[in-house]
């Protein structure tokens, strides 16, 4: 490095790269963030609108049209199409909008085939059941799914250039952290079970308006609450903090 002559002020040092937590931690990754933000955890204002609006329009239009299925389906699908097109036009990631589009599209297809408005929500019920089983089973088996998922994103996990699968499972050597991940996994299992316990009877009774309302209330708001509770559980253990990425030794 070239020495700086005496009397000459040091060259300005460029600012350090922003830490990982400076980027909004969304979804399950928010569990290990330094600071928790309800808004960021569920995808920000835009993410909330994209998640809530199709279902809200379905319920509102269904009730306002005298329980007509077709206008409600058109309104819900149109909201998803607008969200995806807007993201494509602005060249922003469409992952979140597309994930919602798949669920709405499948629900609309099922309801169109059966002619029953409650079948618009059938796919969501099946998805919750499909999530409940592995979350509960992994907690019972001692391999909590929350830990397995978060391990993938650790600095020494396999999704990083210098990471590995052994790094993703390093938390299993810490009994306290493994216990915290297990409790967090049970929280998620409880959320899926609660949704089914409330919504399945409404589905079977054909209470479309109440079913849609329950789905909205137990959707983004409940997910944000479970993320926050999981963050509270996990943040107490310093072992939950991903270690610095490994570097290759100098040749």
Q: On the CB side of 235, how many CA atoms lie within 13 Å of its CA?
A: 14
Give 121-163 pLDDT, tens digit per residue: 999 999 999 999 999 999 999 999 999 999 887 777 777 777 7
- CB-based contact 188:195 (threshold 8 Å): no
Residue whose pair of structure tokens reads 């569920």 in the numeric block: 42
Confidence grade of residue 53 (pLDDT, cut at 50, 70, 90): very high
Cα–Cα distance measured from residue 128 to residue 31, given in angstroms and rounded to the nearest whole number: 20
Cα–Cα distance measured from residue 191 to residue 129, given in angstroms and rounded to the nearest whole number: 11
- Between helices 95-114 and 44-64, what is the axis angle to 10°? 20
Mean pLDDT of 52-79: 94
Give 153-168 pLDDT, tens digit per residue: 777 777 777 777 777 8
Look at the pTM and tell me if it is higher than 0.95.
no
CA neighbor of 75 nearest in space, from 96, 85, 61, 94:
61
């Amino acid at each position: 490095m070239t020495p700086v002559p005496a009397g000459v002020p040091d060259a300005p040092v460029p600012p350090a790269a922003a830490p990982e937590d400076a980027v909004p931690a969304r979804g399950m990754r928010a569990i290990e963030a330094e600071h928790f933000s309800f808004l960021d955890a569920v995808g920000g204002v835009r993410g909330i609108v994209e998640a809530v609006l199709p279902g809200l329009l379905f319920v509102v239009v269904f009730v306002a049209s005298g329980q007509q299925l077709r206008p409600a389906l058109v309104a819900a699908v149109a909201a998803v199409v607008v969200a995806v097109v807007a993201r494509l036009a602005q060249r922003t990631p469409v992952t979140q909008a597309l994930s919602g589009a798949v669920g709405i599209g499948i629900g609309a297809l099922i309801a169109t085939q059966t002619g029953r408005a409650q079948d618009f929500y059938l796919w969501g019920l099946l998805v919750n059941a499909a999530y409940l089983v592995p979350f509960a089973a992994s907690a019972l088996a001692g391999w909590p799914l929350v830990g397995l998922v978060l391990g993938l994103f650790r600095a020494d996990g396999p999704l990083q250039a210098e990471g590995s699968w052994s790094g993703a499972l390093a938390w299993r050597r810490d009994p306290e952290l493994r216990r915290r991940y297990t409790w967090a996994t049970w929280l998620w299992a409880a959320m899926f079970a609660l949704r089914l316990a409330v919504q399945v009877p409404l589905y079977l009774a054909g209470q479309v308006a109440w079913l849609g309302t329950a789905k909205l209330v137990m959707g983004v708001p409940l997910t944000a609450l479970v993320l926050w509770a999981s963050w509270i559980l996990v943040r107490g253990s310093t072992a939950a903090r991903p270690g610095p990425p490994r570097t290759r030794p100098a040749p």
